[in-house]
Amino acid sequence: MSGRAPSASPDPASSRSSSTAPAQKARPAPVTTTAPTSSSASSSSKAARSSSFISSLTTLRRSGSSKVRMATRSRRSIRSTLMPAFSHGPGIRTLPDMNRWTGRRRARGRAGPRVERVSDGAREQQRSRRFPALAYRNYRLFWLGGVLTNNGRWTQYVASYYVIYQLTESAAWVGAAAFSSFIPMLLTNPIAGHVSDRFDRRLVLLCTNTACSLLAAGMAVSWGAGLRDPWAWMVLLLVGGLVYGIQLPTWQSFVAECVPREHLRNAITLNSTQFNAARTVGPALGGFVIGTLGPGWALAVAALAYGPILTTLSMIRAAELFRPDPGSGGDGSVGEATDGSVMAQYRESIRYVLDSPGIRTAILVTALISTMGQPVVQQIVVFAEEVFEVSPFWFGMLGSAQGIGALLAAPVVAGELSLLRRSRIQVLATCGYGIALALFALAPTLWMGFVGLGLIGAMHLASASNLNSTVQLQVEDARRGRVMALYLMGVLGVSPFANLLMGGAITVFGPRAVVTVAGLVVLAGGLFLHATGRLRLLDAG
Q: For residues 260 and 272, is the Cβ–Cβ distance under 8 A?
A: no
Nearest to 275 by CA among 460, 484, 436, 135: 460
Q: For residues 50 and 12, is the Cβ–Cβ distance under 8 A?
A: yes
CATH number assigned to the domain covering 136-539: 1.20.1250.20
Instruction: Please give the pLDDT value at position 380.
Output: 85
Compute the Cα dihedral for 387, 390, 393, 397 and give only its sign.
Answer: negative
Alpha carbon separation from 247 to 108, 191, 207, 228, 443 (Å, rounded): 58, 11, 9, 29, 36
Exposed e or buried b per residue across 351-385, where buried means at least 16 C-beta atoms within 10 angstroms of its C-beta:
ebbeebebbbbbbebbbbbbbbbbbbbbbbbbbbb
pLDDT in tens, the chain (541 residues): 444 444 444 444 444 444 444 444 444 444 444 444 444 545 555 555 556 656 655 665 555 555 545 555 555 554 444 444 444 444 444 444 444 433 444 444 444 444 344 455 544 554 456 688 999 999 999 999 999 999 999 899 889 989 998 999 887 898 888 888 888 888 888 888 889 888 999 999 999 999 999 999 999 999 999 999 999 999 999 999 999 989 989 999 999 999 998 899 889 888 888 887 777 778 878 888 998 999 999 999 999 999 999 999 999 999 999 876 544 443 444 444 455 678 888 888 889 999 999 999 999 999 999 889 888 877 888 888 888 888 877 887 887 788 788 888 888 887 778 788 999 999 999 999 999 999 999 998 999 999 999 999 899 989 988 998 899 889 888 888 889 888 888 877 677 788 788 888 988 898 999 999 999 999 999 999 999 999 999 988 6
Q: For residues 173 and 499, is the Cβ–Cβ distance under 8 A?
A: no
Q: For residues 524 and 375, is the Cβ–Cβ distance under 8 A?
A: no
pLDDT, tens digit (0-9, with 9 covering 90-100), for 447-484: 999 999 999 989 998 998 899 889 988 988 888 888 98
The pTM (predicted TM-score) of the whole model is 0.64
Q: Where are the domains of the chain?
A: 136-539
Instruction: Please give the pLDDT value at position 138.
Output: 95
Q: What gap in Å lies between CA 31 and CA 11, rounded to an integer?
A: 11
Instruction: Please give the pLDDT value at position 65.
Output: 54
- Greatest CA separation for the chain: 146
Q: Mutual orientation of helices 357-378 and 480-488 as an angle, nearest 10°?
A: 40
Nearest to 152 by CA among 97, 103, 212: 212
Q: For residues 482 and 196, is the Cβ–Cβ distance under 8 A?
A: yes
Exposed e or buried b per residue across 280-299, where buried means at least 16 C-beta atoms within 10 angstroms of its C-beta:
bbbbbbbbbbbeeeebbbbb
Q: What gap in Å lies between CA 479 and CA 396, rounded to an integer?
A: 39
Instruction: Please give the pLDDT value at position 407.
Output: 84
Instruction: Please give the pLDDT value at position 167.
Output: 92
